[in-house]
C-alpha cells in the first residue's frame, strides 16, 4: 500500500508494492508528485532510501514528509525516513527500539505538533498477528530524525490494521480499518477467511483510547479529507463486503465528536494518586467494569459493575482496562 501526503499544493505518492502474476510482491521506492493546481503529474522526486509499503506516514511542520517503519520486501523495517521537498533530498536513520512492538506494517499514524502517534499494524512473525500497541514518538525540533519513543499495550478490539489516521482538533483519530490482518485480497493471514471492517472511529486523548461505532466506514483505508470549517470528514474507496473494492464516497459530519469525547472525559473514572506506591483508588459517577493486567499482559484481577475500587498492588507498571456501556479506556 502506497501513501499520499500533501505539502504546498503537491501530493506525494510514496512507496507501495507491486503484485506479479505468480503472486510475488515487490516493495516500491518511487515517489510520484501530483500538482493540484495544474492537475497533472510532475517528474518523480528522488527515490526512497529504502523501498517500503504499508508504512506509517505524516507531514511534520508542513515541511518534511515523514515515514516510519513499514514492510520492505522480506520483513518489517526499524527505520525513519524523512524527505525535504524543497531540496528533494532524503535522510534516514535506523531506530533503536523493541523490534516486535514498534516495527510494523499496516499500522497508521498521524503527527500532531511535534509528536507522532501510530496504532496497531501487523508483526512480521508467523501469521502476521495484529499488534495491540499504540506508539508515541516525540520529535526533536533540532533533529527530526531523533525521536524519543514510548508505547502502551491496548485492548485488541481497539487495535487496527490498515485504518486511516488524522488529527481532529489536535486529537489523534483513526477511522475504519480491520481488527484482523489480511493480504491484498482481503483474506485473513490466519486462514479464517474474508475480513470485515472494524466499523470504528477511535480517538486518543490524555493517555486513553475511546471508540465510537460507525457502520459506514470501510477497511483498507489510507487517508481522509478533513474539512474543519464544516466539521465534515470525507472518505473514498476502501474495501467493503465480500472483499470488493468500494467506489463509495462517504461524508461524515463529526463536528461534535471531539467535543462529545471531551465532555465524556470529564466523567471518566478518576484514578488517584497516579503514580503511586501500589495503592490507588478508582472512582466514577457511573458503573464500570475493571480488569487489571501486569506489564506482560497477564490478568491479575477482574471485577464488574462497580463505582469505586481500591487497589493494593506491588511496585511496578500495571495496565487498567476500564469499560462502561459506552466506552472502553486503557490506562497504565
**277 class by beta-carbon count within 10 Å (0-12 exposed, 13-18 middle, 19+ buried):** exposed
Residue 63 predicted with pLDDT over 70:
yes
Give the other-Cβ count within 10 Å of 322's Cβ: 21
241, 264, 287 - which closes a domain: 264
* 182 and 276 part of one domain: no
* 144 and 273 part of one domain: no
* 304 and 317 part of one domain: yes
When divided into structural domains, the chain yields a total of 2
* 45 and 75 part of one domain: yes
pLDDT, mean of residues 113-122: 96
Q: Which of 22-26, 150-154, 277-281 has the lowest mean pLDDT?
A: 277-281
216, 245, 264 - which closes a domain: 264
Measure the CA–CA gap between 102 and 109, rounded to whole angstroms: 12
* 89 and 161 part of one domain: yes
**99 class by beta-carbon count within 10 Å (0-12 exposed, 13-18 middle, 19+ buried):** middle
Tally of residues, the chain: 332
Domain with 176, as residue range(s), is 3-264
* Pairing mode of beta strands 40-42, 299-312: unpaired
Amino acid 263: pLDDT: 40
What one-character-per-residue DSSP string does 157-223 give? Answer: GG--BS-EEEEETTEEEEE--BSS-B-TTSBBTTS--B-----EEEEEETTEEEEEE-TT--BS---
Amino acid 268: pLDDT: 59
Query: Could you tell me how many helices (H) and strands (E) the chain has, helices first?
Result: 2, 28
Amino acid 264: pLDDT: 41
Tell me the pLDDT tens digit for each residue of 128-141. 999 999 999 999 99
Give the other-Cβ count within 10 Å of 228's Cβ: 11
* 89 and 211 part of one domain: yes
Give strand ranges (E) for 217-298: 225-227, 232-236, 249-253, 270-272, 279-294
* 255 and 304 part of one domain: no
* 246 and 282 part of one domain: no
We report the CATH number of the domain holding residue 312 as 2.60.40.3080
Measure the CA–CA gap between 103 and 94, rounded to whole angstroms: 11
* 139 and 284 part of one domain: no
* 15 and 68 part of one domain: yes
Tell me the pLDDT tens digit for each residue of 159-176. 999 999 999 889 999 999
* 273 and 260 part of one domain: no
* 220 and 284 part of one domain: no
Give the other-Cβ count within 10 Å of 324's Cβ: 16
User: Reduced to 3 states, what is the DSSP secondary structure of residue 7?
Assistant: strand
> Buried b vs exposed e over 53-77: b needs ≥16 C-beta within 10 Å?
bbbbbbbbeeebbbbbbbbbeeebb
pLDDT, mean of residues 174-179: 94
Higher pLDDT, 204 or 225: 204
We report the CATH number of the domain holding residue 9 as 2.120.10.80
Residue 262 predicted with pLDDT over 60:
no
212, 246, 264 - which closes a domain: 264
* Pairing mode of beta strands 225-227, 232-236: antiparallel
Phi-psi region of 265 (alpha: psi -120 to 50; beta: other; left: phi over 0): alpha
pLDDT, mean of residues 303-316: 84
Residue 227 predicted with pLDDT over 90:
no
Task: Write down the H helix ranges in the chain.
Answer: 99-102, 257-265
Amino acid at each position: 500500500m502506497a501513501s499520499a501526503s500533501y505539502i504546498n499544493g503537491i501530493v506525494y505518492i510514496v512507496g507501495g508494492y507491486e503484485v506479479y502474476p505468480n503472486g510475488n510482491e515487490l516493495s516500491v521506492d518511487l515517489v510520484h508528485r501530483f500538482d493540484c493546481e495544474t492537475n497533472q503529474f510532475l517528474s518523480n522526486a528522488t527515490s526512497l532510501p529504502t523501498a517500503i509499503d504499508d508504512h506509517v506516514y505524516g507531514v511534520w511542520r508542513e515541511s518534511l514528509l515523514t515515514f516510519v517503519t513499514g514492510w520492505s520486501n522480506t520483513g518489517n523495517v526499524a527505520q525513519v525516513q524523512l524527505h525535504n521537498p524543497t531540496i528533494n533530498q532524503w535522510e534516514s536513520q535506523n531506530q533503536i527500539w523493541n523490534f516486535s512492538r514498534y516495527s510494523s506494517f499496516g499500522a497508521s499514524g498521524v503527527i500532531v505538533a511535534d509528536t507522532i502517534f501510530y496504532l496497531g499494524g501487523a508483526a512480521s512473525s508467523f501469521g502476521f498477528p495484529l499488534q495491540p500497541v499504540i506508539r508515541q514518538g516525540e520529535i526533536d525540533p533540532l533533529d527530526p530524525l531523533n525521536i524519543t519513543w514510548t508505547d502502551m499495550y491496548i485492548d485488541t478490539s481497539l487495535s487496527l490494521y490498515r485504518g486511516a489516521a488524522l488529527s481532529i482538533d489536535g486529537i489523534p483519530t483513526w477511522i475504519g480499518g480491520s481488527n484482523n490482518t489480511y493480504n491484498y485480497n482481503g483474506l485473513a493471514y490466519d486462514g479464517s477467511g474474508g475480513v470485515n471492517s472494524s466499523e470504528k472511529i477511535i480517538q486518543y486523548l490524555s493517555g486513553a483510547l475511546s471508540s465510537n461505532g460507525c457502520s459506514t466506514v470501510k477497511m483498507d483505508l489510507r487517508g481522509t479529507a478533513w474539512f474543519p470549517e464544516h466539521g465534515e470528514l470525507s472518505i473514498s474507496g476502501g474495501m467493503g463486503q465480500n472483499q470488493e473494492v468500494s467506489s463509495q464516497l462517504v461524508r461524515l459530519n463529526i463536528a461534535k465528536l471531539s467535543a462529545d469525547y471531551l465532555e465524556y472525559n470529564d466523567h471518566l473514572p478518576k484514578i488517584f494518586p497516579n503514580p503511586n506506591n501500589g495503592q490507588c483508588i478508582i472512582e466514577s459517577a457511573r458503573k464500570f467494569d475493571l480488569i487489571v493486567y501486569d506489564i506482560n499482559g497477564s490478568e491479575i484481577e477482574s471485577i464488574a459493575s462497580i463505582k469505586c475500587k481500591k487497589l493494593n498492588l506491588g511496585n511496578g507498571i500495571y495496565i487498567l482496562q476500564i469499560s462502561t456501556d459506552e466506552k472502553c479506556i486503557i490506562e497504565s
